[in-house]
Amino acid sequence: MKRLLLLLAVVVLVGAGSYGITRLVVPPPPADEDQIVWLTREFKLTPAQAATIEALHLAYIPICSDHCAAIVAARERLAASPTDTNLRTEVLRLERICQEATLHHVREVAAQMDAAQGARFLALVEPRILRHEHHAAFGLK
């Protein structure tokens, strides 16, 4: 029993130490840092690239907002009539439109970067977009 407790204590100390070292070596980005500042730093953007990407981002905000509003409205209708298969299909259709538009947007952003940085950006964000399931909370498939 003593050995088990000693082993557990060592594991906890090593884990806490590893976490502490990681936080020192790789500090979190500032909470007030915006996406363009992060993209510029992380993907070594030139000022011209950053300006173009910021313009793309600003142009995409209302599109994204419209998609979100449409999905929320459709989900509210579905919540009121959970057995309506047409509403269920509509929610899934709207979510697919959102996902496709977001993929198109991030690919436009990546196209503004140097080829290697654009590929790294897409490798980071595309899997997250493809894995994101708007419908997980609603049990839709």
Residue 53 φ/ψ, nearest 5 degrees: -65, -40
pLDDT on residue 7: 67
pLDDT on residue 141: 46
Residue 18 has pLDDT above 80, yes or no: no
Query: Are 104 and 96 spatial neighbours (Cβ–Cβ below 8 Å)?
Result: no
In this structure, CATH architecture of domain 33-138: Up-down Bundle (1.20)
* Span 25-49, pLDDT tens digits: 555 555 555 889 999 999 999 999 9
Query: Are 102 and 133 spatial neighbours (Cβ–Cβ below 8 Å)?
Result: no
pLDDT on residue 3: 78
| E strand intervals along the chain | none
Instruction: Look at phi and psi of residue 7 and say left if phi exceeds 0, alpha if psi is from -120 to 50, else beta.
Output: alpha
pLDDT on residue 103: 96
Structure tokens, 134: 């708007």
pLDDT on residue 137: 46
CA separation (Å) from 99 to 12, 93, 129? Answer: 41, 10, 7
Cβ count near 95 (within 10 Å) = 21
Give 98's contacts (C-beta < 8 A, 6+ positions apart). 64, 67, 68, 71, 134
pLDDT on residue 73: 95
| CA atoms of 83 and 74, how far apart (whole Å) | 13
pLDDT on residue 35: 87
* Span 89-132, pLDDT tens digits: 999 999 999 999 999 999 999 999 999 999 999 999 999 998 87
| CA atoms of 8 and 2, how far apart (whole Å) | 10
Least confidently predicted of 19-23, 54-58, 119-123, 124-128: 19-23
